[in-house]
Amino acid sequence: MAPVSDRAVLSGTWFVVRTSLPLWRTRDNPSVTYAPLPDGRVVDTVRFTRRGRLGLIVGLDRPLPGGGWEWRGLSLLTRWTPSRWQVLHAEEDWAVTVFARTPFTPAGLDVYARTRTLSPGQEIRVHEMLRGLSGARPFLAGLFSPVHDED
């Protein structure tokens, strides 16, 4: 399957199915919904549950010259610390993103899927692809699967 563009990835809802980010050890059901704007920016809505309560982080992503994105939160607590990230690889039903370190979070990697779990075939393909992506290698040993409740 051929890779898809960042623009295609940055549309709709994705579930975080593998990650190296410690944030997802204490939060369940992580998902990200991207809503492209006409000016090229993207509204980015992260949803999760923590101790049974819904959590929501809304931000705005702007494309960076040369590739990648800069996220800036829209709340008072998140607006002052931007986060830079990029899509390393994307296919129709899964994608790999990496995030630069910020003063509050380590650098990390997320594997997104359009469903809460990867199929066995997707699992194989994702692991093969991750091993071949130099930008993913620093995060492979720390990957884990966040908790997702069944519908």
Q: What is the mean pLDDT of residues 62-77?
A: 87
| The predicted structure's pLDDT at residue 4 | 52
Q: Is residue 151 part of a domain?
A: no
Structurally, how many domains does the chain consist of?
1
Q: What percentage of the chain reaches a pLDDT higher than 70?
A: 92
Q: Is residue 76 part of a domain?
A: yes
Q: Is residue 124 part of a domain?
A: yes
Q: What is the mean pLDDT of residues 25-33?
A: 97
Q: Is residue 69 part of a domain?
A: yes
User: What CATH number should be reported for the domain holding residue 117?
Assistant: 2.40.128.20
Q: What is the mean pLDDT of residues 110-129?
A: 95
Instruction: Report the predicted TM-score, pTM, of the whole model to 2 decimal places.
Output: 0.91
pLDDT tens for 77-89 read 666 789 999 999 9
Place of tokens 């809802």: 13
- Domain membership of residue 35 as a residue range: 6-142
pLDDT higher than 70, residue 25: yes
112 alpha carbon, distance to own chain's centre: 6
Q: Is residue 58 part of a domain?
A: yes
C-alpha to C-alpha distance for 34 and 13, rounded to whole angstroms: 6
Q: Is residue 147 part of a domain?
A: no
Q: Is residue 101 part of a domain?
A: yes
